[in-house]
Structure 1
Amino acid sequence: LKVQLMNSTGKVIGMTTGNSAVAHEQSADMKQTITLENPSLWSIEEPTLYDALVTVLINNKEVDKVKTTFGIRSIKFDTATGFTLNGKTIKLKGGCFHHDNGPLGAAAIDRAEERKIEILKKAGFNAIRCSHNPPSPYLLDVCDRLGMLVIDEFTDMWEKPKVSPDDYSKYFRANWKSDLSSILLRDRNHPSVIMWSIGNEIPEAADTSGFRIARNLVNEVKKYDRTRPVTEALVDQSTMGGKTWEDKAPHLAML
């Protein structure tokens, strides 16, 4: 296995190789480390990106390869300093960002996705929350390239339906773990993603079933990524069946 790091001009700035014996139709995990001296950090103002080209070779013959774009940056959430990016306090200025493209429809069209982020950047936005489902891969590519922070949201409902019995609640029990893990593995290398949201205005958030589900979701997120915090959009009290914010305290403590 050969890994090459390349800067924005395509120049190779780091490389490592490793060997592993893998049986036919089997898989194996390999961990490799490349140290990059004085990297250019990804930020809102200067969203510097790098590429990692991973090549699989058998008897020195290339059989497969994949390129992953990523950025190098640090994030921190603190009660005293708020959100910091590369040690600099940033006020999040954004809003909920739905996936549709107006009269173009709900399909993810590359140029339409890009144009929306360009317009928001010009309007002063520096962050979006994907409402209420994961974004298209291209949208995150655009956010990486243009310097837009992202809250990546999993779903709009858990086990209880909202409007229709045929919404995602119908499939949640059987599919939540595979769906969530696929999103985390797909999106975790994007420097623009700063938080994972596990749900939006969940009806059962204030009862014991909500506590159980939230715990499972948070644990699954942490299995794949411990570098970002987990959040959730809270529902207003009018739809909580008479329960209060205090009733939801055990749920909030898990985030």
Structure 2
Amino acid sequence: MKNEPPAPPFSADRPPCERCKIYRRQDDSAYCKTCSAILDRTEGLGRIIRNLVCLWGFVSDLPWHLNNETCKDFTEGVYVHDQNRFLLILQRRGLRKWLEELLLYHGSDIKGLIQIFPTKGPGYGTCMGDVLCKAIHHEADFPMDMLRIRFYSSPLQIFKPHLREKRGMLTFSGEDFLSILNMGVTFRRNLRPDEQIEIRDMLLKPGHRNLHFQWGRLLGRIDHEARDMLEAWSMRHWPRERIFLLYEVLPYVDIFHD
């Protein structure tokens, strides 16, 4: 790219590269040579990208285990920006283990904000660069007096964080968020996928008139470990936001590796 000349001034018959808007298009292509090579390499990565999660951290001290052996199997990329900021790309199933390692070895010594959000495909309009810029902007939202986790189930939620915040679904202490992930593991282990869906539909259905009856029938059908779990959690009486949050973290827990 260093030896590639920039495109001439914009014109209708010879516009610049459609992707970078800087360099000259190749003949019979909408992209410059470099962008064409990038797009060729990213073709077919959609399935992989959908299973990744980004962590943007602004912390008092960089976690020592960013590249350690325990986490390497589910770590796809690490970028250390400076002595306080890092970008980590994980397979979703590795999020709980990574956070567990962080709290185990750093405990209350590490302070700051870690923002967690899934990846976003290229498409048109908002891109991952915009999401990361907004994450950096939110660094100033809190003092560096404890470790806070902000969890976005969609990357676009980062542009309107107050919508999740007022529902109590955004900001948590590190220990509280790990506890939520651990509940997700227990939930998935004790209930079949169809039972998980049935519980979600039952508890989130507006104005469910027969909830007491249907809940009793459900408890009578499932095995005793699942029944004991639901009764110990009093899940039937949870607020809707807490139920939504539990189901949002389920894709981030893996009962086969955790």
TM-score, normalised via structure 2 length: 0.23
Larger RCO of the pair (alpha carbons < 8 Å, separation 6+): 2
TM-score, normalised via structure 1 length: 0.23
Higher-Rg structure is 2
Q: Comparing both structures, which one devotes a greater share of its residues to strand?
A: 1
